Amino acid sequence: MSLISSEYDVVVIGGGPAGSTTSTLLAQGGLNVGLFEREKFPRFHIGESLIPETYWVLKRLNMLEKMQRSHFVKKYSVQFINANGKLSAPFYFWDNKPHECSQTWQVVRSEFDQMMLDNAREHGVDAHDGVHVIEVLFDRAERGQGSSDGDGEADRAGRGQGIRATGVAIKQDGVRKEIRAKVVVDASGQAALLMNRMKLRLWDPVLNKGAIWTYWEGAYRDTGKNGGATMVIQTPGKDGWFWNIPLHDNIVSLGVVAPFDYLFKGRQGNHEQTYQEEVENTPAVKERVKNAKRVTGYFATRDYSYRSTQVAGNGWVLVGDAFGFLDPLYSSGVLLALKSGELAADAIIDGLARGDTGAAQLGAWGETFNHGVDRMRRLVCEYYDGFSFGNFVRNYPELRNTVTDLLIGDLFTDKVDKVWGPMESLYPDDKQRLPTWREGMVPEAAQHKANELTLPEGRTP
Ligand SMILES: Cc1cc2nc3c(=O)[nH]c(=O)nc-3n(C[C@H](O)[C@H](O)[C@H](O)COP(=O)(O)OP(=O)(O)OC[C@H]3O[C@@H](n4cnc5c(N)ncnc54)[C@H](O)[C@@H]3O)c2cc1C
């Protein structure tokens, strides 16, 4: 067992982009940080397309130069193909913001996440992979206000009733060890350790999709500036869409996303058959892979759209997917992981400096963050409800840049809100009201939810 301290200022659970970001910034702020990642890195992960606003956090992390030196494909734009096979003009990020931040990357996550974790180590984070956090520890001294069972304790901590996170218990090579910390950051991704334990998860009442994907060698690639574009290709029946993400080494990540019932219920075959049927039915996709070789099996996931009712409690904070995940449509996941990591780290540094690690201080960023996620959620839901970028910019050419602002992830500012009125002016008469995420899913539907990831046979993360 590599040497693990029994006490840190902050313990971070998970070494994905959210965990690496939070821990690096905390270490930059002079704190003693321990990070525990259950998998041995490098490990597989989905989430390959970055969006431009990641630039600013990558800059703070001192990751920019590493990214610029990397072999990751450079991404300058996103482009849409509608159900009739009609191609929109590319949304070039540079046209919107002529700054180097407008070029971003398509990354192989096993490599990107390793780089981020190594970078955290270089900044002084005591990061250990292959170490499973089995539970978050809560202050027993402050107990006695109710029952002493673990769940009740965590429930009360979640609602900010005095109980405080004081560290974690880890397991490495079968040995359990308790580690103390002033603050625990949960960056455990969709495993969502604390959210599950405290029952804080609200399933999105609208977004109820699944995805099946695989990797192709030698698939069609655009050339020049368009060679790194993410393509969003709607299926002809408008039931779903494909992502087409060009990666290095001539590999393309190609996945189909559609409502859960459509993709997984009442289909005759396995994931492979469903995927192949969708490729067969979507000429713009079929054309792209006709000369390509599939180089992996099929991956599938479902029930991934949710948020926690809280970003923080006493002594604990949630970041990245451990707080919430929206939808893959506009590739906002890694940005939101980085952004929440950044906001959380700032709140923790400030809180520790003032001796305040209460829920209000650690979660002070939650409202702004949720508001930003709401903007992206609305854009996602509008697309699923028939919104056409092409039609919108034809009607409101002066708002092309503002829509592009949303697509690049510039979500945390009121200036983008001027698109909603014009968008509403194009609504059909029978358009339904969009429930907010806080309304959650009706309990009968929620009880069938089972956030799942299926890997190809024989494959481990
Ligand atoms: C189908 C699909 C497509 C997507 N496409 C994109 C895309 O193109 N672009 C994009 O930006 N995002 C995309 N995403 C989202 C993206 O994958 C996530 O938002 C992002 O990985 C979140 O980062 P994270 O650090 O929060 O979580 P993760 O990257 O999942 O990292 C969490 C880490 O915690 C570790 N962990 C879990 N439990 C424990 C434990 N108990 N102890 C220790 N370690 C633990 C895990 O092993 C993992 O390494 C997509 C998501 C889906 C579902």
Beta-bridge partners for 252: 216, 246
Nearest to 48 by CA among 75, 76, 22: 75
What atom in ligand 1 is closest to the CA of residue 43? 49
| Count of Cβ atoms closer than 10 Å to residue 150 Cβ | 11
Tell how far CA 34 is from the center of its chain: 22
| Cα–Cα dist 369/385, whole Å | 24
Q: Is 216 exposed, middle or buried (0-12, 13-18, 19+ CB in 10 A)?
A: buried
Local confidence pLDDT in tens for the 461 residues of the chain = 468 999 999 999 999 999 999 999 999 999 999 999 999 999 999 999 999 999 999 999 999 999 999 999 999 999 999 999 998 888 899 988 999 999 999 999 999 999 999 999 999 999 999 999 999 999 864 444 433 444 555 555 555 556 899 999 999 888 999 999 999 999 999 999 999 999 999 999 999 899 999 999 999 999 999 999 999 999 999 989 999 999 999 999 999 999 988 998 878 779 999 999 999 999 999 999 999 999 999 999 988 899 999 999 999 999 999 999 999 999 999 999 999 999 999 999 999 999 999 999 999 999 999 999 999 999 999 999 988 888 899 999 999 999 999 999 999 999 999 999 999 999 999 998 899 998 888 777 777 787 788 999 888 77
Give the list of residues 6+ apart from residue 162 with CB closer than 8 angstroms, or none.
142, 145, 156, 314
Residue closest via CA to ligand 1's atom 5 equals 47
Model confidence, pTM: 0.95
Ligand 1 contacts CB of residue 331 (under 6 A): yes
Instruction: Return d(Cα 383, Cα 407) in angstroms, integer.
Output: 12
Task: Evaluate: CB of 37 within 6 angstroms of ligand 1.
Answer: yes
Among 21, 40, 45, 260, the mutation site with the greatest number of ligand 1 atoms within 8 A of its Cβ is 45
Going from the Cα of 187 to the center of ligand 1, the distance in angstroms, rounded, reads 9
Q: Are 421 and 432 in contact (CB under 8 A)?
A: no
Pick the residue whose CA is nearest to atom 17 on ligand 1. 47
Q: Is 1-72+109-208+307-382 in CATH node 1.10.10.10?
A: no
User: Cα separations (Å) of 221 from 74, 289, 291, 408?
Assistant: 13, 10, 12, 22
The whole-angstrom separation of Cα 73 and Cα 56 is 19
Q: Is 204 in the pocket of ligand 1 (CB under 6 A)?
A: no
pLDDT number for residue 152? 56
**pLDDT recorded at residue 2:** 65
Residue nearest to atom 2 of ligand 1 (CA): 328
Name the closest-CA residue to atom 52, ligand 1. Answer: 328
Instruction: Look at residues 382, 415, 383 and name the one whose alpha carbon lies nearest to residue 399.
Output: 415
CA of 16 to the centre of ligand 1 (A): 6
> What would the two tokens of residue 206 be?
């609208």
Q: Which residue has the tokens 């979640």?
A: 158
Q: Which atom, in ligand 1's list, is nearest to the CA of 188?
A: 34
Beta carbon of 9 within 6 Å of any ligand 1 atom? no
Distance between Cα 388 and ligand 1 center (Å) = 29
Largest Cα separation within the chain, whole Å, is 67
